[in-house]
A = this chain, B = another copy of it.
């Protein structure tokens, strides 16, 4: 075992010991730690800003882009947002101990399915230091210990934030190991974490496709992927055209750099009026349009789309548009290019809408609403640790409840199996 592997294992075993105690800790105690974190964030601003200044300085030396530096930066407003997020998580209902189901067997055995924490959650993330607090607070609320591994460019900020949260946990009487962070930047630490089954129960990678692929390739610990989105909208043969314009505009323009922003638009060929209205609106908003040959004929200032475009997550003010002759063709294309996260239909035809909602296999399917609602907060689930593209455990927005599992508690009076 290398020294990095040994160091990661040492931290993970501290988390594992903490998780055993956390599993039956009272909700009030976990909430007290969250509220104390908010207090310490507010009272430790100088310390946090100093740590962040070291990262910013090094980032400038290493020539990080201004967008990267902006993501890295802490300031009073961002620290206050983290504090508020902790308070909001504390205010969520406690998922632990919830009776999910309960029944009595003919032999008198009473079986209760009870919600419990997963155990130790490993979070591997990049760039923004607020993830340190956001992810750890959701894990803590759900009764999990967490082992954090942030990006090397934010190492000083992340350590300062994790240490602050560990202090808040101690103040609330929670065990050491509740929140741990890797204090070194060796890349080897990522596969080392991902192979610690027996210590870590779940790995949540947050970051680019490269990070997620590296974790998935190496992992023996279960991984819940949060990879790319390729959000698609189908505008049916008939619909409320101003509504279609408004929804597509929102889905593309309001925040183009996120996984629930639309990338592919399919429009029924009988609804050229909708196509023209949407295109006009988007061009006016500065969106670059890339279309199929017919779309290019019908819409001025539309570039021809390449084959690659239909599988490209632009994360930018660019949209691919294609005319289709039926809802079947639309659903076939959607299935082919989908990332399984978010798709929408805009129609006034209820039968088509219900068919689309039933047959399109994505985490979130919409009828006459913007795809931008795929978000834990917008769904009313609370803050989210990410949006899962997995088909097991949790699909779509993952919040506190999605960081739990269950156990069966069985009470008898001497039953034995025949």
Partner-B contacts on A (CB < 8 A) = 20, 23-24, 103, 105, 109, 111, 116, 118-119, 197, 201-202, 216-217, 220, 222-224, 240, 243, 246-247, 249-251, 254, 335, 353, 357-359, 361-370, 372-373, 378-380, 390-393, 395-396, 405-417
Q: Is the CB of B372 within 8 A of A416?
A: yes
Copies of this chain: 2
Instruction: Provide the residues of chain B in CB contact with A367, threshold 8 Å.
Output: 410-412
Instruction: Provide the residues of chain B in CB contact with A408, threshold 8 Å.
Output: 363-365, 379, 396
Instruction: Provide the residues of chain B in CB contact with A415, threshold 8 Å.
Output: 368-370, 373
CA distance A378 to B410 in the complex (A): 12
Instruction: Provide the residues of chain B in CB contact with A357, threshold 8 Å.
Output: 409, 411
Q: Which 9 A-B pairs have the closest CB atoms?
A: A369-B412, A250-B416, A372-B417, A393-B393, A201-B391, A243-B414, A370-B416, A369-B415, A392-B393
* Dominant secondary structure at the A interface: mixed
| 8 Å CB contact of A216 from B197, B366, B411 | B197
Besides A364-B410, A369-B412, 9 more A-B contacts (Cβ < 8 Å) are: A217-B220, A222-B223, A243-B414, A246-B416, A357-B409, A366-B410, A367-B412, A370-B412, A370-B415
Instruction: Provide the residues of chain B in CB contact with A407, threshold 8 Å.
Output: 361-365, 395-396
Instruction: Provide the residues of chain B in CB contact with A417, threshold 8 Å.
Output: 250, 254, 370, 372-373, 378
| 8 Å CB contact of A358 from B24, B335, B410 | B24
Instruction: Provide the residues of chain B in CB contact with A396, threshold 8 Å.
Output: 407-408
Given contact pairs A390-B222, A395-B407, A405-B392, A359 touches B24 in the complex (Cβ within 8 A): yes
Chain B's closest residue to A365 (CB) is: B409
| 8 Å CB contact of A406 from B202, B395, B410, B413 | B395
Identify 26 residue pairs between A and B in the complex whose beta-carbon atoms are under 8 Å apart, listed by A's number. Answer: A24-B359, A118-B391, A118-B392, A222-B222, A243-B413, A250-B417, A364-B410, A366-B410, A366-B412, A367-B410, A367-B411, A368-B413, A368-B414, A369-B414, A369-B415, A369-B416, A370-B412, A370-B415, A370-B416, A373-B410, A373-B417, A392-B393, A392-B405, A393-B393, A395-B406, A396-B408
CA distance A246 to B412 in the complex (A): 13
Q: Is the CB of A202 within 8 A of B364?
A: no
Instruction: Provide the residues of chain B in CB contact with A364, threshold 8 Å.
Output: 407-408, 410
CA distance A216 to B196 in the complex (A): 12
Q: Is the CB of A414 within 8 A of B247?
A: yes
CA distance A20 to B20 in the complex (A): 41
